[in-house]
Chains A and B, each alone.
Chain A
């Protein structure tokens, strides 16, 4: 009996270790790869010990304007986040409290959430080209808003639904207007939900690749994922900068994921349990 239990425990530990290995090796491969000399990356054998170098980071930040790309990414992500959070949050509140738009509007929001982004690239490309918005950060903010907005509405609505309506009623009984009830009673209560939505929206905008590649490929407005993608879609791939730029993109997301894990998991699993 005890032997059997011991064997079971060993098996479980081995399985958990295997899971950890499977899901951490690609990240380690990338981080370590970004610190390897080019000939170590190209080595046709597993190299465990090597002399780390920051050469590839120097390449992307000095030979390529990665600080500029970083700035573009931050500007687009923050602007798109701000825009969709304000607009989507208010609409979600309206849907939650007044059933704004009823079932047709919720279906519309759901429909826009399901739509694969490539569906919109041709019309957005032609329309933005006609409006002279190609290669501007504005076009990226607008294009990102299209899908982020319905995401924000969807997530925020369920957070607003969790706040009981009686609280607002009592506030209004005491003489507060609707707007005051929203600002002073409801908003403080949905702050955790707003943080969750903000993180997920920000990471989504930060990771956005397709629209950025199509609508803003010029150096002045390029975002980080597009710059990283450019290293890999050519014929000869220089792996050092690929790994370095990948690490730069992933780092802020990692920091957010580690420190705000609770909020992220809450937001991701929102739809699973009713």
Chain B
């Protein structure tokens, strides 16, 4: 007789309970049809049954059982949609034939997008410019903030709270507020500029930027091809206002994680603040800066709500993300929009690996 036999009765109870749960879901589905209430009810019952199961499952299967809910959700809302996205991108799907046949067209959607969509290349350029200028400016300002505030002073908690708020704020709300702040007649920026004796600037238009316009030879080219206009400046400004604090937070955490010995050594050797910064702090901070560039670079590719609130889908401020939305849900050109989505997804992954390579080699 062996004393440690698994308690069979508990296992039987759990099997019975799960069958009961499945029956309940089936009954609910039959009674109310395939509706939202059924789905929520089904989810809750499924979860309870699952937890009961989990408490009984054997050692060997435990890791796999733990992952069941996540895998289910991922299949339903990521794997399936992405597979479907690829499938749609290979077919001609638009408003006109949405309810009839979707002819297979191969890569035609992709080729048409690149060859004959007049807004694809400008949107791509704009996205990449936002990525480049946004990350560069935010990195410099964030580093400045982190070094400026990395010292004891009164009100320090207040300042860090104020800097946390933009990160947590809805980017649509940020866009809304800045849309009013940048207004020509009664926006805060122009009113303050007026007090300083500077003429109001047309922030929300695609007027060329005065300084860059006058650069000989390339000025015209910068303005027409590379978005050196007020609207794009406003986008960068708003994005920088919202996300520089994030860079500041990451770099501050990085600064606090540095070992104290090199700083003490520098102090003993009589290094000035700037020397310590140049030869001790920055070299040691390099890997953190690399991580910050990766995080911000990936994040800035997601920008949507802020541009949407500032300019809607105006063609002169359209980035790839806004273009996906307009192609798919305003023009109902689902095929091309899917092709564009795939391009953006691949581009994001590509950028991640490029960033990784660039920042980890140093």
Does the CB pair B177–A93 fall under 8 Å? no
**In A171-226, which residues have CB < 8 Å from any B CB?**
177-179, 203, 206-207, 209-210, 214, 225
Prevailing SS type, chain A contact patch: helix
- Docked pose: A203 CA to B77 CA in angstroms: 20
Among A24, A33, A203, contact of B168 (Cβ-Cβ < 8 Å): A203
Does the CB pair B345–A264 fall under 8 Å? no
B233 at the interface (CB under 8 A from A): no
Which of A49-57, A62-70, A228-236 interfaces with chain B? A228-236
A43 at the interface (CB under 8 A from B): yes
Contacts of A79 in B (CB 8 A): 40
Does the CB pair B62–A178 fall under 8 Å? yes
Closest chain B residue to A122, Cβ basis: B328
CB distance from A210 to the nearest CB of B (A): 6
The total of chain A residues at the interface (CB under 8 A) is: 99
CB distance from A129 to the nearest CB of B (A): 10
Closest chain B residue to A125, Cβ basis: B329
Does the CB pair B70–A91 fall under 8 Å? yes
Closest chain A residue to B303, Cβ basis: A116
CB distance from B7 to the nearest CB of A (A): 11
Contacts of A90 in B (CB 8 A): 54, 66-67, 69-70
Does the CB pair B148–A33 fall under 8 Å? no
**In A52-99, which residues have CB < 8 Å from any B CB?**
79, 83-84, 86-88, 90-91, 93-94, 97-98
Does the CB pair B191–A46 fall under 8 Å? yes
Among A98, A119, A138, residue most surrounded by chain B Cβ atoms (within 10 Å): A119
Does the CB pair A232–B288 fall under 8 Å? no
B280 at the interface (CB under 8 A from A): no
B181 at the interface (CB under 8 A from A): yes
Closest chain B residue to A137, Cβ basis: B36
- Docked pose: A246 CA to B191 CA in angstroms: 22
Does the CB pair B39–A94 fall under 8 Å? no
Contacts of A100 in B (CB 8 A): 63-64, 66-67
- Docked pose: A232 CA to B253 CA in angstroms: 37
B12 at the interface (CB under 8 A from A): no
**In A121-157, which residues have CB < 8 Å from any B CB?**
121-127, 131-133, 136-138, 142-143, 145-146, 149-150, 153
Does the CB pair A16–B176 fall under 8 Å? no
CB distance from B332 to the nearest CB of A (A): 10
A7 at the interface (CB under 8 A from B): no
A27 at the interface (CB under 8 A from B): yes
Does the CB pair A153–B39 fall under 8 Å? no
Contacts of B165 in A (CB 8 A): 23, 27, 253-254, 257
**In B236-278, which residues have CB < 8 Å from any A CB?**
241, 245-246, 249-254, 257
Contacts of B159 in A (CB 8 A): 16, 19-20
B135 at the interface (CB under 8 A from A): no
Among A41, A83, A225, contact of B43 (Cβ-Cβ < 8 Å): A83
CB distance from B176 to the nearest CB of A (A): 5
Closest chain B residue to A203, Cβ basis: B168
- Docked pose: A178 CA to B66 CA in angstroms: 11
Prevailing SS type, chain B contact patch: helix
Does the CB pair B180–A242 fall under 8 Å? yes
Which of B114-122, B213-221, B333-341 interfaces with chain A? B333-341
- Docked pose: A206 CA to B171 CA in angstroms: 11
Does the CB pair A42–B70 fall under 8 Å? no
CB distance from B69 to the nearest CB of A (A): 4
Contacts of A10 in B (CB 8 A): none
Contacts of B170 in A (CB 8 A): 206-207, 209, 225, 249-250, 253
Among A119, A133, A242, contact of B85 (Cβ-Cβ < 8 Å): A119
Contacts of A30 in B (CB 8 A): 173, 176-177
Contacts of A112 in B (CB 8 A): 74, 78
As a 0/1 sequence over residues 97 to 120 of chain A, the CB contacts with chain B under 8 angstroms (1 = contact) are 110110000000001101111111
Does the CB pair A250–B73 fall under 8 Å? no
Contacts of B31 in A (CB 8 A): none
- Docked pose: A118 CA to B347 CA in angstroms: 14
Among B39, B78, B169, B174, contact of A138 (Cβ-Cβ < 8 Å): B39
Would you mind naming 26 contact pairs between A and B with Cβ atoms under 8 Å apart? A20-B159, A23-B163, A23-B166, A25-B188, A83-B43, A91-B69, A94-B63, A97-B63, A111-B349, A118-B322, A120-B77, A127-B84, A142-B76, A145-B77, A150-B74, A179-B57, A209-B305, A214-B329, A225-B170, A225-B172, A229-B305, A250-B169, A261-B164, A264-B168, A269-B253, A271-B291
